[in-house]
Amino acid sequence: MLTPTDETELAEALRTAQAPLSVRGGNTRGMAGAGEPLSVAAICGVRLYEPGALTVVAAAGTPLAGLEAELAAEGQRLAFEPMDHRGLLGTGGEPTIGGVVAANVSGPRRVQVGAARDFLLGLRFVDGAGTVIKNGGRVMKNVTGYDLARLVAGSRGALGVITEVALKVLPRPEAAATITIEVPDAAAAVSALSAALGSPYDVTGAAYWPGRGALVRIEGFAGSVAYRARELERLLAPAGAVSVESDADAVAALWRDIRDVAPFQGKAGDVWRLSVKPSDAPGLAARLEAESLLFDWGGGLIWALLPEGTDARARLGPFAGHATLMRAAPETRARIATLQPQQPAVEALVTGLRARFDPRGLFAGAAA
């Protein structure tokens, strides 16, 4: 395995590489692709943290847990709430901030604050020719040039190897609450969640967990959370019986379970992740005939547990959205593409970008 310890060594390794590489940080997603392993785990450490400016700069291999602990000590957090895939995928290792940005990993709070890429101020990466590229900056007022940072975020390593990221952080809230609505089915759940998200009560989480109900989270100052919880309880009462949980530990544990898809952990079957229009979610879920379901983002994100070897795209037929195969046996992955096939125009753009940033095909195995 190639194990560069800094950006210079990484650039040299890429310049001299003669065959495709399998780039990884913590390898917690198990999707590093084929090729000679190249780990960026040694390129780690917080380079700059300015709590007063709400910015942090960290090397790509920095463990996510350590970074979050450093932010928590200052009463701050990564607001986009990155998921921990290990329980769902049965993998080991340590999630890294570079991997989070490369896959644009975002949790339940995306409905309010946006995705990981929306907090990205800038980054450094090395392309397939071994060229170090810097884009963006370390402050929030940098708006010059092409926005390569957001192009690389979510590209899953197809355009280069991230070495450093600069992120905006936000304060941790004083209080939080979960409003649970007992609903009969997915359609009723999405209707209730849409009502909550369309309200003026600053919802930061909107999920449907069959058997537990439609779930709405609010966060902020204690007095504000109490007021908004009462108003949401009144607003959502027509949808079903409503209850409110205000214990901070219980609220945090519930939304961590939603973020990490805890209902599927340890269960046999293939895991699919669908990004769809929320109003389409109930109908698409019915077509899937899944063994288990979990909705997040008000229905915009569907997690589905299907029997091993099932092609979710074949069951769905044409639909507006994307279906990603997150967990399956190797023989299933050999038969079914991980990512949703792209429209010809988009595929042409992707091909052109990959040719520009990776002319020798070093990252050909990247799932992008």
Report the pLDDT value the prediction gives residue 342, as an integer from 0 to 100.
87
Report the pLDDT value the prediction gives residue 368, as an integer from 0 to 100.
44
Nearest-angstrom CA–CA distance, 5 and 317: 47
Residues 21-54 have pLDDT tens digits of: 999 887 777 666 678 999 999 999 999 999 999 9
Nearest-angstrom CA–CA distance, 349 and 365: 18
Would the CATH topology of 7-171 be identical to that of 268-335? no
Report the pLDDT value the prediction gives residue 63, as an integer from 0 to 100.
96
Q: Which residues in the chain show pLDDT less than 70?
A: 30-33, 138-146, 365, 367-368
Which 3-state string (H, E, C) describes the chain? CECCCCHHHHHHHHHHCCCCEEEECCCCCCCCCCCEEEECCCCCCEEEEEHHHCEEEEECCCEHHHHHHHHHCCCEECCCCCCCCHHHHCCCCCCEHHHHHHCCCCCCCHHHHCCHHHHEEEEEEECCCCCEEEEECCCCCCCCCCCHHHHHCCCCCCCCEEEEEEEECEECCCEEEEEEECCCCHHHHHHHHHHHHCCCCCEEEEEEECCCEEEEEEEECHHHHHHHHHHHHHHHHHHCCEEEECCHHHHHHHHHHHHCCHHHCCCCCEEEEEEECHHHHHHHHHHHCCCEEEEEHHHCEEEEEECCCCCHHHHHCCCCEEEEEEECCHHHHHHCCCCCCCCHHHHHHHHHHHHHHCCCCCCCCCCC
Whether domain 7-171 has CATH 3.30.465.10: the reply is yes
Report the pLDDT value the prediction gives residue 136, as an integer from 0 to 100.
82
Report the pLDDT value the prediction gives residue 28, as an integer from 0 to 100.
79
Nearest-angstrom CA–CA distance, 80 and 109: 6
Q: Sketch the domain layout of the chain as residue ranges.
A: 7-171, 175-259, 268-335
What is the distance in angstroms between the CA of the first residue and the CA of the last residue of the chain?
22
CATH assignment of 268-335? 3.30.70
Dihedral, CA of residue 345, residue 350, residue 353 and residue 357, to nearest 10: -170
Residues 140-175 have pLDDT tens digits of: 555 555 688 889 999 999 999 999 999 999 999 999
The fold of the 175-259 domain, in CATH, is Alpha-Beta Plaits (3.30.70)
Q: Is there a contact between 151 and 122 (Cβ–Cβ < 8 Å)?
A: no
Residues 339-368 have pLDDT tens digits of: 999 889 999 999 999 999 999 999 976 754
Going from the C-alpha of 209 to that of each of 133, 243, 299, the distances in angstroms are 43, 15, 11
- Candidates 349, 348, 345, 350; CA nearest to 366 is 350
Nearest-angstrom CA–CA distance, 27 and 18: 23
Q: Is there a contact between 173 and 179 (Cβ–Cβ < 8 Å)?
A: no
